[in-house]
Amino acid sequence: MRTHKLKSVGAGVALALCAALSTTLVSCRDQALRDLSPDDSRVYITNYDRSANFSQFRTFSLPDSVVIESNDRVRTSLSPVEGRFIDRLAETLTSRGYQRVNIGQPADMGVAVIRVSNRYTGVTSNPYAGYYTNYWYGGGFGFDPFYPYYPNYYQFYTVQEQFWQIQIVNLRAQPGAGSNGQNQLPVIFQADIRGDNLTDNGAVDRALEAIFAQSSFLQAGR
């Protein structure tokens, strides 16, 4: 599999300069990210099966809804932005020489649009939280450099993961056993859109343009 990443050069330079010149990395990062536009914050990652010959495919099947994956739950959705994403994706694949067929009809490729929204909660141990920092040291009682390591304080944290994804499977291939024991079709192309969420039609159009700009191999044979 080959991976491509598109990032804003200006953003990377800004972060590098901040890290080198600022004495406080956290505050520098905040200032750099504050200046980024939503488009600059997005990263487009495309993976594909190098053994697949995309020029041999002629047709594709694309549902009229988006799959929403949220932790262990899966549902479908069709908001105005999601509908725009599906329409523009279909138009772009058609412009590359592929023909969209109705659901249920034979097709060479199966295309799915997925929105991933996961939230994880964990716990970590911090011996200084609310004890050393706020009392022994922050209170100015002069105990430095003696650090009391007891009691142990625990902090909870939440990590949220949100991104868009396009998957294309080879419908010509024979299903194989997946990691979950179920038969699965091989994924021959995957694109992730990470960073700021897509909230309007313009953002959708620019995201798909970026993905297909780095996916010239997605082209039907003439």
Is 111 a residue whose pLDDT tops 50? yes
Model pLDDT for residues 55-98, shown as the tens digit of each residue: 999 999 999 999 999 888 889 999 999 999 999 999 999 999 99
- For position 175, what pLDDT does the model report? 79
Output phi, psi for 71, to 5 deg: 55, -115
- For position 198, what pLDDT does the model report? 80
Question: What is the 3 state secondary structure string of 153-191?
Answer: EEEEEEEEEEEEEEEEEECCCCCEECCCCCEECCEEEEE
Q: Please give the torsion angle defined by the CA atoms of residues 183, 187, 191 and 197, in that order, rounded to the nearest 10 degrees.
A: -10
Q: Is the bond preceding 145 in cis, omega lying within 30 degrees of 0?
A: yes
- For position 92, what pLDDT does the model report? 97
At 192, the pLDDT band (50, 70, 90 cuts) reads very high
19, amino acid identity: A
Task: Note if the pTM is more than 0.85.
Answer: no
Domain boundaries, the chain: 1-36, 40-213
| CATH classification for the domain delimited by 40-213, as one of 3.30.160.670, 3.20.20.80, 3.30.56.10, 3.40.50.720 | 3.30.160.670
Per mean pLDDT, which range of 20-29, 35-44, 137-146 is the poorest? 20-29
